[in-house]
Chains A and B, each alone.
Chain A
Amino acid sequence: MSCEKKAAAQIVLLMAGAAMLCFGVWRGEAATVLSKAIKLCLECVGIG
């Protein structure tokens, strides 16, 4: 991959990542993450 193409790919991916993150927050995914993370995850600790 040439230097310019690599730099372009990096910029595009950074912008896509930021856009996806913002869209996810906007549609309420962050709240879902918080509600799961503050409670004991029964599956994670092996209770079921």
Chain B
Amino acid sequence: MGKKFSGISQTMSRFRGWIQAGATLLTNLHLPNFLKGGLYQGAGKTVCVPGLNCYSCPAAFGACPIGAFQAVVGSSKFSFSYYITGFLILLGVLLGRFICGFLCPFGWFQELLHKIPTKKLSTKRLKPLTYLKYAVLLVMVFLLPAFLVNDVGMGDPFFCKYLCPQGVLEGAIPLSLANSGIRAALGKLFTWKFSILLSVIALSVLFYRPFCKWLCPLGAFYALFNRVSLFQMKVDKNKCISCGKCARACKMDVDVTKTPNHTECIRCGMCIRACPTKAVCFRYGFGDGKDKAKAAETLQTNNNNREE
């Protein structure tokens, strides 16, 4: 495994917090809109952002992929969105859950909450809950908006309406503070969604990224592509001393030495930083690099034999 890859991986994982902050800022470039109490209405919103970021956030630069998918399938014209599905497949293959670990504003928000110094709880025994997000993706994002429709063929965005806490955090709270009309219109649905947001906040302090692990449909979609993503985790078996430090450091409950491209791995790089022999690193490219590694090993063996 090249020293270059190892060095880049170390640097990326060390500065991850700054990359997350930068990604959140880029996703929400129109900051003055927070004071105006209005939304950005430019053509940029035709394009989706990679992370979970509500398009009703005053500063949002692009559209939320999950919200956009439901908007298309819930419209009277379409019952499936090729545009958003294609976009998500591309991102899933190009980056996988690296997006969750480095680019998602709501993931970063939960991580900041988890830094609050209190007792922390493990999610290892709650592993079955990780399957819940796939049900959320299938039922609330794909099926209900497409098939539970009104007389004119329009469906509700069920995930955005009943479950997503990001709309309240980024949309309802700042908009209601700046706009008295919106403040007056908030009712029972807001109370329900605000309760979800408060629950996610409380859980995020105790557990690491509870929403990403158990509920996020976007994370579920990217997770399906983690095994075939070009962005991969790589473990050098020759350097690994099986100390188990990487598995203990992983807050997503993944053992990178056994399943480097596990569906739950968000490429946060905690295993990279924990490894005493620098056996773990990021890899980007087609295939899994085993053939190149084998070729390099064979070349090295041949060279050694010649020298002898």
Contact = CB atoms under 8 A, between A and B. Distances in A.
A1 B227 contact: yes
A41 B54 contact: yes
Question: Which of under 10, 10 to 19, 20 to 34, or 35 or more describes the interface residues of B?
Answer: 35 or more
Interface string B75-86: 101100111111
Interface in A1-48: 1, 3-4, 6-7, 9-11, 13-14, 16-25, 27-34, 36-41, 43-48
A40 B39 CA distance: 7
A44 B63 contact: no
Contact of A46 (B43, B55, B82, B167): B167
A38 to B, nearest CB: 4
Given A11-B286, A13-B228, A46-B190, A20 B86 contact: yes
Given A36-B71, A44-B164, A20 B82 contact: yes
B56 A44 contact: yes
A3 B193 CA distance: 45
Interface string B26-55: 000000000000011111011010000011
A38 B55 CA distance: 8
B2 interface: no
A18 B90 CA distance: 7
Contacts of B191: 46
B290 interface: yes
Interface in B252-296: 286-291
A33 B83 CA distance: 9
A28 B175 contact: no
Nearest to A25: B83
Main SS of the interface on chain B?
helix
Interface stretch (B17-25, B179-187, B206-214): B179-187
Given A29-B83, A44-B56, A14 B185 contact: no
Nearest to A44: B167
Interface string B55-87: 110001011100110011001011001111111
Contacts of B48: 33
A7 to B, nearest CB: 4
Given A18-B86, A22-B86, A33 B172 contact: no
Interface stretch (B102-110, B155-163, B242-250): B155-163
Contacts of A31: 46
B72 A33 contact: yes
Contact of A47 (B60, B81, B156, B186): B186
Q: Which 7 A-B pairs have the closest CB atoms?
A: A24-B83, A20-B86, A21-B86, A46-B190, A44-B167, A17-B89, A24-B82
Interface of A: 1, 3-4, 6-7, 9-11, 13-14, 16-25, 27-34, 36-41, 43-48
Given A1-B227, A37-B71, A47-B172, 4 more contacts: A14-B93, A17-B88, A20-B86, A41-B67
13 contacts: A6-B287, A17-B88, A17-B89, A17-B90, A18-B90, A24-B81, A33-B72, A34-B45, A36-B55, A37-B63, A37-B64, A40-B171, A44-B164
